[in-house]
Amino acid sequence: MAKRRITIVTGANGGIGFGICQRLLCQLCHPNPSDASPQKFSLQNFSESQTDDVSSDYDGITLIMACRSANRAKNAREQLYQCLDTYVDGLKASPDEYVHAKKFQEAVDIKIHQLDLAVMNSVFAFAEEISNQYPYITDIICNAGLASFTGIHWPSCFVQLATEPINAMTAPRFYNQHMGEMSVDGLGWVWQCNMFAHYSLFRALQPLLLASPTGGRVVWASSLEASPSFYDSDDWQLTKTEHSYESSKYQIDLIATHLDLLARRALEEDPTSRPVRHFVSEPGVCSTNVSIALTGPILEILKVWAFYIARFLGSVHHTIKPYKAAIASVHLVLAPLYFFALSSQPVRYGAETDWWGNERVGLSPVRRWDENCAKGEALLRKCDALYQSLREQEKGTMDSDTDA
């Protein structure tokens, strides 16, 4: 039987998550997807023969939409099928591409599985359901996330717009956020939804990732706003900070980088092994519904126009549309692993565009890595201890229910 790619995308029913699903399907319609080709930062390292053939080792895909709302996911799934139909029809002018696309289209299966990252029992139930239904997982794209905004601090907004307008439209520092919000599990809410639930998902599905025919990958969605400036390692669940969003995204940078360092060490010890690889992506600045509750419809329109102005003025980070913002994540699951340089300085793979809006993937360093490397390693140990504790509690609860 032909191998199928089995990819999980969290938060797949809207925004960048939907863009990732759409872009992944469209790319796989081609025998040599452009997003699988090396980007400028790696072109110099490979011969033409290596870069010409980036065809997939898989026939077809099972795309798992991991979403909190089943109804919204069903609507999104229908939209994805419609988008795929339209895209494939557009390839009729290229007979070879069209034949490949039609064959791939017949092998597409989009599944919906419910997942609420704010409830750890939902994470564990999702992992068990996936483990019972699929023999392996090729990729997990940890895209879902949230920010607990309360409003805009207008004086700070005007100051940043006046003094550093491009940065104000790229990594704004004028959003007020809730502090101290807790989940139903008694954990920091933003921390759990953005980072820890995804870490637990990876740990629970690690056996399936290791069973992947070509080695599993996990893509962690960070942000241009990820910042060590607000991060206090003692407040590791981010309940005492007014910048929980920026700090949780920086934690993702640290955790994912450490996990991949462990994978690379395993490869050095045994070159024939296939450890799970971890990559950090960031989508640039994309227009989604995250901030519309704060801005309202009029300001939202003005904000999008401001994004285009920022791009016109030279910003490479304003991807604006979810489909373009998805290029980094899709590249990280499609490109051959030898395209990714094993540099000593940890990097993040970011979605970028040129002046005309043509998307590409760029690199940026993990900020203040040398300074915070040990803190990230300690954070990883804390997360693993908490994960093990919660799994033991879950097992104890299940045993009690069985005895009853």
Q: What is the chain's length?
A: 404
pLDDT at 40: 81
Tokens of 344: 């000593």
Separation of alpha carbons 99 and 277, rounded Å: 33
Please say if the pLDDT value at position 116 is more than 60: yes
* pLDDT higher than 70, residue 48: no
Mean pLDDT lowest among 77-81, 121-125, 267-271, 329-333: 267-271
Q: State the chain's mean pLDDT as an integer.
A: 92
Residue corresponding to tokens 């290791």: 210
DSSP 176-240: EE--S-B-TTSSBHHHIIIIIHHHHHHHHHHHHHHT-TT--EEEEE--TT--STT--TTSTT--S
Distance CA 76, CA 155 (A): 39
At residue 1, the pLDDT reads: 42
Percent share of the chain, pLDDT over 90: 83
- Say yes or no to pLDDT of 80 above 80: yes
- ∠ CA 261-267-269, nearest 5°, is 105
Examine the pLDDT at 291 and tell me if it is beyond 50.
yes
- Residue-wise pLDDT tens digits, 319-369: 999 999 999 999 999 999 888 866 678 999 999 999 999 999 999 999 999
Phi/psi at 100 (5° precision): -65, -45
Q: Residue 282 contacts by C-beta under 8 Å, 6 or more apart in sequence?
A: 221, 222, 223, 224, 226, 328, 348, 349, 350, 351, 364
CB 311 within 8 A of CB 355: yes
Residue 81 in this model has a pLDDT that exceeds 80 = yes
pLDDT-derived band at 403 (thresholds 50, 70, 90) equals low
pLDDT, tens digit (0-9, with 9 covering 90-100), for 28-38 = 999 999 999 98
Domain of residue 45 covers 5-403
Token readout for 42 is: 């790696």
User: 13 with 73: CB under 8 angstroms?
Assistant: yes
Q: How far, in Å, CA of 231 to CA of 302, rounded?
A: 31
Question: At residue 289, does pLDDT exceed 80?
Answer: no
User: Which pLDDT does position 404 carry in this prediction?
Assistant: 55
pTM, two decimal places: 0.94
* Residue range 152-157: mean pLDDT, rounded: 94
Whole-number pLDDT of residue 339: 85
**Model confidence over 123-142: pLDDT tens digits?**
999 999 999 999 999 999 99
Q: Are 55 and 31 in contact (CB under 8 A)?
A: yes
DSSP 193: I
pLDDT at position 58 is 82
CATH of the domain at 354: 3.40.50.720
Count of structural domains within the chain = 1
pLDDT at 318: 98
Q: What pLDDT does 332 receive? A: 97
DSSP 40-102: HHHHTTS-HHHHH----S-SSEEEEEEES-HHHHHHHHHHHHHHHHHHHHTTTTSHHHHHHHH
Structure tokens at 103: 């064959």
Residue with tokens 């040599």: 32
Binned at pLDDT 50, 70 and 90, residue 216 comes out as: very high
Q: Take residue 250 and report the two structure tokens written for it.
A: 């920086």
Non-local (6+) Cβ contacts of 12 within 8 A are 18, 20, 21, 63, 65, 66, 67, 73, 76, 143
pLDDT digits (tens, 9 = 90+) for 220-247: 999 999 999 999 999 999 999 999 999 9
